Amino acid sequence: MAANGLIALAIVMLGFAGTQALLNSTLFPLREVTVLGQLTHTTRDELEGATRGRVAGNFFAVDLGVIRNGLEQLAWVRRADVRRVWPDRIEVRLEEHVALARWGDVGLVNTYGERFAGQTEAMLPVFAGPAHTEGEVTRRYRRYAELLGPLGSALDRVILTPRFAWQLRLADVVTASTVANASTESTAAADRSRVHW
């Protein structure tokens, strides 16, 4: 019985030593990191900065989780999938955020209703609400936008107040009221858009 225990211990020790030798070996160096995905806002310099110092070790020793976490810290990267490709390559597939709206003055909201810290010059509707309500505000925005679509109206603001009441502002009402001083026909159009709402 003791001999079997010694044999099992020897096998475990050999396996451990073999694993350590493989992880520390220079026989399997990484030669390439391939980045896949349609990138609009993330630059090559940002990618290199996010992975610098994180791509360490050989093919077997590199920590894919550390690389993924570094890339997902970039403002426009929503998700990074990182995998090994035999014999000497790491493949990174990136998904960028697609901005749907601004979240007050502090960031953007993507099409999944997630807030992120990106910046853009694009004209986007403004969302606001209590903490952690980005998803609910996004769902309501889509619902209201669907209802207003046939009327030719677009939402400019969707706000969930601290008392959980909804405040909406139409983009065309603001335009109509600006033009309303120019003629009575414009005033009538502004009134119709208010009546429809």
Mean pLDDT of 19-43: 78
For residue 4, pLDDT beyond 70: no
Structure tokens at 172: 């065309």
Structure tokens at 64: 């894919």
Residue 189 phi, psi dihedral angles, 5° rounding: -65, -40
Q: Indicate the average pLDDT of the chain.
A: 82
Q: Read off the pLDDT of residues 157-169 as tens digits, 9 standing for 90 and up.
A: 999 999 999 999 9
**Among 48-52, 76-80, 159-163, which stretch is predicted with the lowest mean pLDDT?**
48-52
What is the CATH topology of the domain spanning 99-196? Rossmann fold (3.40.50)
DSSP string, 90-146: EEEEEEE--EEEEETTTEEEETTS-EE-----S---EEE-STT-HHHHHHHHHHHHH
- Residue ranges of alpha helices (H) inside 26-156 are 44-51, 64-71, 134-148
What is the CATH topology of the domain spanning 26-96? Ubiquitin-like (UB roll) (3.10.20)
DSSP string, 1-46: -HHHHHHHHHHHHHHHHHHHHHHH-SSS---EEEEES--SS--HHH
Q: How far apart are CA 77 and CA 162, in angstroms?
A: 30
pLDDT confidence band for 55 (50 / 70 / 90): confident
Which residue is listed with tokens 């350590």?
Answer: 20
Inter-residue contact 106 to 134 (CB < 8 Å)? no
Domain ranges of the chain: 26-96, 99-196
Structure tokens at 159: 């706000």
- What local confidence, expressed as pLDDT, does residue 52 receive? 87
Coil, helix or strand at residue 196? helix
Nearest to 176 by CA among 164, 168, 188, 167: 188
Q: How far apart are CA 74 and CA 117, in angstroms?
A: 9
Return the CA Rg of the chain: 27
Which residue is listed with tokens 């396996």?
Answer: 15
pLDDT confidence band for 53 (50 / 70 / 90): confident
